[in-house]
Structure 1
Amino acid sequence: MSLPTPTPGLRAVVTGASSGIGEALADGLAGRGYSLILVARREDRLHELAHRLAERHRVDAEVRAVDLSDRDERATLCEELATREIAVLCNNAGFATYGTLATANPARERQQVELNTVAVHDLTLAVLPGMLARRAGAILITGSTAGNQPGPNNATYAASKAFANTFAESLHGELAGTGVQCTLLAPGPVRTEYAEVAEVPNLDRMVPGPLWVSAEQAANDAIAGMAGGRRRVVPGIFAKVQTVGGQYTPRGLVGPILRTIYRRVK
């Protein structure tokens, strides 16, 4: 299986496109000839990226400054996408919080659930019927190795990424033979602005430098995985070890270990 052939009317949608993996996904897809719809909250960054992509790859790049955790803003975007010819949807936007759930900000936790799970579901439902009617399309969902095991002191994020992981792999199986595919990107530590958004500046010191992967590597692996019709893409050795450990280590053992680790994230 391969990605749909780019045409002037088709678009690739990338959420969380203003930085990190999303920005790298946009660049990689533009390099393959796709015109884009770039989605994120930071409009200035999106316009800067759109200009760079147009100059570098000679593609059109539309900007949609949308807070995907806001139901009304998200609904407006979904209504538009349902009427457009979308070749690729990269559900990439997301963030994490750390600390005990009892002391967390309820509004912030709710926002995380909306962005990491509900928005992924809504956007997928918006573009999927059109893809199936054309018998061509690719959906990428950015999950995480954190979704493979419990995450004490990281509970909402781990649970939301468990949804993303399972949703992506379930949809991959459901779409077999339709001409449409769904691929899960399940990274471990990736060098992005993630720690800044999560408000935990020492997060990057929790994992030794050589075990991190770049946003560009994660994005390139993801696009190659979509092009190959893969079910799951896990970039980097450390993420692969995390995946195996999360799947096969007894919960009674892994839970206390992760609780100790996440207590150090401040």
Structure 2
Amino acid sequence: MESKRILVTGSNGQLAQSLAVVNKSLSHELFLLDRQSLDISNADEWREKLDDIDPDVVINCAAYTDVEGAEDHREAAFSINDSAAVLASRLTAERDKRFIHISTDYVFDGKASRPYTEQDGTAPLNVYGASKLAGEQGILDLKSDALIFRVSWLYSPFGKNFVKTMNHLFGTRDEVNVVNDQIASPSSALTFGRFLLECALEGGEPGLYHYSEHGEASWFDLATAVNELTGKRAQVHPVDSEYFPTKAERPAYSKLDNRKIETIFAPQIPHWRESLESCLNYE
């Protein structure tokens, strides 16, 4: 693949940082922008950056990801996850460039008994999921060359995420309780980032796709794997969600069906445990 000029928003987030790491073995030119470099809600600033950088692709990693906080800050969540995302997609489309947007499994209510496909009906249980769904719909309504990738349970060596939290707790506590009644597929931002930079920059029909690593797990399963792979000796105990009351309701089952993405892009998607081991060994 020829080198691309890629504008990446949300540079302080774990996915953008993972893209930067993955790109060290590739040849793309990344322009990583944080909120000080670009106000993603400001059309004039967007036009200026698009004109100055002239990217081939825009990857929108900027998002309001605080699921609990969104319950109290609905306007902020929708401003970033919906309005700003649609604005960025529209302005990118006006320049006939590819736009890649990241969404979530939380657009579903978790009542399914098999992995969700792109054709399944959505019914978010919380404000975060509703804001991400609104952004998806707004981007799709533009009918542009945009790709939307739903991904679940993203983690990485960077920022705040479940895997890093568990790894820390296992080094400081003898026993840890972890929820066992929510199930999806954990996704390494390093693995997902490589897919984006190797497969999604060109080709593929515009529209909605599910990225999901093989296998599925509960948060307890994921925590147990972290405990084992790091050689920690903590006792990990499974508990129901009611053990940790939250403002935002989470889907009980949100595994994403990745058959469409495998058919269209033919990526090398590993089992989640393989990606987890690679992430934990990252230096």
Please give the TM-score of this superposition, normalised by the length of structure 2.
0.55
Residue 77 (str. 1) matches residue 45 (str. 2): yes
Q: Residues 34-81 of structure 1, C-alpha deviation per residue, up to 9 Å, x if partnerless?
A: 22221224xxxxxxxxxxxxxxxxxxxxxx53453xx4xx34431313
Match of 1:162 among 133, 139, 158: 133
Number of aligned residue pairs:
192
Q: Residues 19-45 of structure 1, C-alpha deviation per residue, up to 9 Å, x if partnerless?
A: 31122224445644222221224xxxx
Equivalent residue for 2:152?
188
Equivalent residue for 1:112?
77
Q: Distance in 2 between matches of 1:262 and 1:186?
A: 28
User: Which structure: greater helix fraction?
Assistant: 1
Q: Assess if the C-alpha contact under 8 Å between 1:182 and 1:226 holds in 2.
A: no
Paired residue secondary structure (2:12): coil
Aligned residues: CA RMSD: 3.8
Q: Distance in 1 between matches of 2:106 and 2:28?
A: 31
Equivalent residue for 2:234?
none
Alignment of 1:1-80 (within 5 A): 5-6=2-3, 11-29=5-23, 31-41=25-35, 65-68=37-40, 71=41, 74-80=42-48
Equivalent residue for 2:92?
127
Q: Residues 105-141 of structure 1, C-alpha deviation per residue, up to 9 Å, x if partnerless?
A: 3xx32221111111111222222222x2xxxx32110
Residue 139 (str. 1) matches residue 106 (str. 2): no
Summarize the Cα distance change of 1:237–1:185 in structure 2 as closer, same or farther, 3 Å threshold: same
Paired residue secondary structure (1:146): helix
Equivalent residue for 1:225?
200
Identical positions, percent? 15
- Amino acid in structure 2 at the alignment position of 1:77: E
Q: Assess if the C-alpha contact under 8 Å between 2:153 and 2:184 holds in 1.
A: no
Paired residue secondary structure (2:100): strand
Q: Assess if the C-alpha contact under 8 Å between 2:9 and 2:34 holds in 1.
A: yes
Summarize the Cα distance change of 1:261–1:14 in structure 2 as closer, same or farther, 3 Å threshold: farther
Q: Assess if the C-alpha contact under 8 Å between 2:151 and 2:211 holds in 1.
A: yes
Alignment of 1:243-262 (within 5 A): none
Q: Distance in 1 between matches of 2:136 and 2:78?
A: 14
- Amino acid in structure 2 at the alignment position of 1:163: A
Equivalent residue for 1:242?
none
Summarize the Cα distance change of 1:86–1:195 in structure 2 as closer, same or farther, 3 Å threshold: same
Structure 1 window deviating more from structure 2 (181-190 vs 216-225): it is 216-225
Please give the TM-score of this superposition, normalised by the length of structure 1.
0.58
- Amino acid in structure 2 at the alignment position of 1:164: G
Summarize the Cα distance change of 1:92–1:205 in structure 2 as closer, same or farther, 3 Å threshold: farther
